[in-house]
A and B are shown apart, each in its own frame.
Chain A
Amino acid sequence: MKDTIVDLDGVHKFYGDFEALRGISLEVKSGQIFGYLGPNGSGKTTTIKLMLGLIKPSSGNVNVLGGDPFIDDLKAMDVRRNIGSMLEFDGIYERLTGLQNLIFWAELYGMKRQKATEQAKVIINSLKLSEWADVQVVKYSYGMRKRLTFARALVSDPEFIVLDEPTVGVDPESRYVMRNMIENLAAQGKTILFSSHDLEEVQKICSHIAILSKGELIFNGPLKGAINQLGRTKIFIHFESPGDANFLAKSLREMDYEVKIEGPLLSFYPEHDLDISNLTKGKILDTWKVDASLEEVYLKLVTDDEVDA
């Protein structure tokens, strides 16, 4: 098995005069669940299209599973045979049943009819769609359709799986089923690129992340490292009266803390050695802390980048 699954080296992509990607260099290693994040228009979809061989870079190198997926030669076909993808536009045929759809896609990956049918049944069962396997897709709910699209990405048993917004608009049950499946796939050694705006989901499942803003990578590394390095734990204090919260807020602001007050509820990001017992008055009803989140890290990075720009 190859250690580096995706290797982008100094990739630029222009659409006319617009530079969608500005010298992206990125590696995705085997077995990673790699979160690929960024605001709308940051270049995520362009990067994904490059990885899938739908477009070619204006300059720089794109190497996926040891080859260039764009050119329609035998090597590129071998590369694409090992990539499964779930894109924003799903490629599902509504007039066919779920099973017929999967068999068709499996055949496109070069499987013979019998093997394609067996594989389609296994995948459809594992995504809990077996009762709907012989029903036309037009009758599926949105969540079921999303699961079927996810199944389409997996039907060829690919080594590298690209998921673009897989959980957007999906009901909690489908989300749970898909998350479990992704974790199982990673446990089997598959590599997954997970592009999403759902940061909570990314935080739950990804081991590494890259954040893209205006065509440039502004972060690339392990998720835990990002949160430890850039995230902050937030303290919430619920006072009996708003006046008591304001009293503490005044003291904290004098010490240059960023404080937020909503009635009697005060929140701020404390330093490690801060003792607030001398700064408070009145009765504290409750105190709790919220650990740093990816959302916070993401917003900080993206906002800082916009300010710098």
Chain B
Amino acid sequence: MNPQMKGLILKEVKEVYGRKDYLLTMIINTVVYLGAGYIFAVVSPTGVLQNLFMEFSFIVIPSFAMLIVGFPFIQEKFGDEKLIRRFEALLTTPISLKTVWTGKMASIFLLSYPVAIFVIVLLLFAWAVVKGMNPIFILSVPVWVMTLFIVPLLPMIYAGLSSWFILRFNHPQLMQVLQLVGIGISILIFLSSGRIIRSIATGHIVNWPIVAYSTIGVIGSIALIIFLISKLNKEKITT
């Protein structure tokens, strides 16, 4: 990694770690998601449906936590920085807009992915305490691939698209609109996912074909975002 990118990521992360509001967010997350894990474990029926409940909780809750934690970082690192015209200062240095964007996205990932991991640990704890079950062995490998590597990219795709909107347009309420859209899409996915997934999966919410389709979808989305960012005109950001 070149020193510019490294410096940018380290700075973005250092600025947040140890901050009181970040620590407070982590404490609130602990309480909320421990509670969510407890409820999921308690209300889950027995038998096959119990495993589906468990899969669902591991696939959806950590990434939702990541999405919620990511909102302020998108606001701070793109919205606020554009508003206070810090992008102007950044772009006077020998660094391209693409590098700045990549550094900021990497920092958002580094700040929000640990939250997803943390929530997974909380869920493991909740299932172990409430039902005496160990999801590490119960959940299948595709579920873990989905939980650890693919679904966490969805909040990042949201962050990438939001950042493009923020950099491209200047509407003062843009961030609020994007947050509403983000939450709205999450709820829609939450409500509709069961029916869709059950129609294509057999016995589990996630199997290898679903992992494959999801990977293709994620790669396509990332490619689209990279294309949009590469087409951004820095003049739009600095005037």
Residues of chain A touching chain B, judged by Cβ–Cβ distance below 8 Å, are 15, 49, 52-56, 72, 76-78, 80-81, 83, 85, 87-91, 93, 95-96, 100, 103-105, 107-113, 116, 152, 156
Contacts and interface: CB of A to CB of B under 8 A. Distances in A.
Nearest to B6: A107
Contacts of A100: 11, 14
A227 B210 CA distance: 78
Nearest to B89: A91
B94 interface: yes
B91 A54 contact: yes
27 contacts: A15-B239, A49-B239, A54-B91, A77-B96, A78-B94, A80-B93, A80-B94, A81-B94, A85-B92, A87-B88, A87-B89, A89-B88, A90-B89, A96-B11, A96-B14, A96-B15, A104-B7, A104-B8, A104-B11, A107-B4, A108-B4, A108-B95, A110-B4, A113-B3, A113-B7, A116-B3, A156-B93
A87 B89 CA distance: 7
Given A77-B95, A77-B96, A89-B84, 10 more contacts: A85-B92, A87-B89, A88-B85, A89-B86, A104-B8, A107-B7, A108-B90, A109-B93, A109-B94, A110-B2
Given A108-B95, A109-B94, A49 B238 contact: yes
Interface in B40-98: 84-86, 88-98
A158 B90 CA distance: 16
The 7 nearest A-B residue pairs measured at CB: A91-B89, A107-B7, A89-B85, A77-B94, A72-B96, A108-B93, A54-B238
Given A15-B239, A104-B11, A107-B3, A72 B88 contact: no
B84 to A, nearest CB: 6
Contacts of B4: 107-110
Nearest to B238: A54
Contacts of B11: 93, 96, 100, 104
Contact of B7 (A15, A52, A108): A108
Nearest to A55: B235
Interface of B: 2-4, 6-8, 11, 14-15, 19, 84-86, 88-98, 234-235, 238-239
Given A78-B94, A100-B14, A110 B235 contact: no
Contacts of B234: 54, 72
Contacts of B8: 104, 107-108
A116 to B, nearest CB: 8
A54 B87 CA distance: 10
A282 to B, nearest CB: 59
B200 to A, nearest CB: 43
Contacts of A55: 235, 238-239
A72 B7 contact: no
A87 B14 contact: no
A192 to B, nearest CB: 15
A53 B91 CA distance: 8
A243 to B, nearest CB: 58
Contacts of A15: 239
A87 B88 CA distance: 9
A85 B89 CA distance: 8
A96 B11 CA distance: 9
Contacts of B84: 89
Contact of B93 (A78, A89, A105, A112): A105
Given A54-B234, A55-B238, A107-B4, A87 B92 contact: yes
Nearest to A89: B85
Contacts of B14: 96, 100
B151 to A, nearest CB: 31
Given A55-B235, A96-B15, A108-B4, A89 B89 contact: yes
Contacts of A89: 84-86, 88-89
Contacts of B89: 85, 87, 89-91, 152
A88 B89 CA distance: 10
A110 B19 contact: no
Nearest to B18: A95
B88 A54 contact: yes
Contacts of B239: 15, 49, 55
